Structure 1
Amino acid sequence: LAVQMAGVLESAGLGALPLLIGFILVIIVLDVIIPGVVPKWAIFAPVFIPIFMRLGVAPQTVLAAYRIGDSPMNVVTPLMVYLPFIVTVAQRYKRDAGMGTILALMLPYVVAITVAWILLFIGWWLLGLPLGPDSPVAL
């Protein structure tokens, strides 16, 4: 399946960066449904690593894109284990605070963090900076 999808994406001629940004956006949306980092990666890594490797993207770059997509939504995911605690703390200062209050307060931060992470990732990709020792962004 992954090899066939990679073939379709190669023939589309989109390039790796737009596909990586699309991957980030998919992970952001799915973070609401599957809030755990490890279960999501266990599902997506066997599919997306081979796809992006065939497109010339190093596995560590796919992991970095995955972490960028997973990071911003954690604070507004309704399944987050700490959300009831955050609501309780907020109710100390504002009695009628609820989940909606917390989510509405955090949403601008989610948008700002998402934009900042994606712009940083784009810059990192365009400059070709390694993600670590002997870890290039492309193969």
Structure 2
Amino acid sequence: MKTRAVLLLALVIAGAYAMFDEINAYNERRFEDLLQSMDVEFQSLVFTTPPIFGAPAKTWVIDDEYEVDQLLQFLQDYRVQKLKPEEITLQDDIEEFNIILKDGTGNTITIVVNENLIIQNSMLYYRIVDGPLDGDWIVRFIASNRS
């Protein structure tokens, strides 16, 4: 009888652990899964650099499919986790390095480089779980696409 009780208790504990683990895994996923849920094909990149030493912020657009694919391949190695509204702490008065992926119908994904943040369609916020982003790669990517 004690053996059954111990086995039942172990089963309940294992089940509770599995449920807890599943709930946490639900919010964390691969960046590639985020893209698949959107089911869009991005066609352009919009780069924005913050103002430096009084110079105005710079923004430019790249419509090169190869460059879009390069960025998506780089990001697919990262995992993201959806943020709850109370976890979002963006400050609008601070300019950031941004890269925006756009498709033809207005869907966007914004990568806020310094914050390791991904914003889907200006509504859903995700943090990069296994970041920070590789800054050297991002700097080379921005520099190679500077117009």
Does the TM-score normalized on the shorter chain lie above 0.5?
no
What TM-score, normalized by structure 2, do the two folds share? 0.26
Q: Which has the higher strand share?
A: 2
Q: Which has the higher helix share?
A: 1
Structure ID, larger Rg? 2
Question: Relative contact order: is structure 1 or structure 2 higher (C-alpha 8 Å, sep ≥ 6)?
Answer: 1
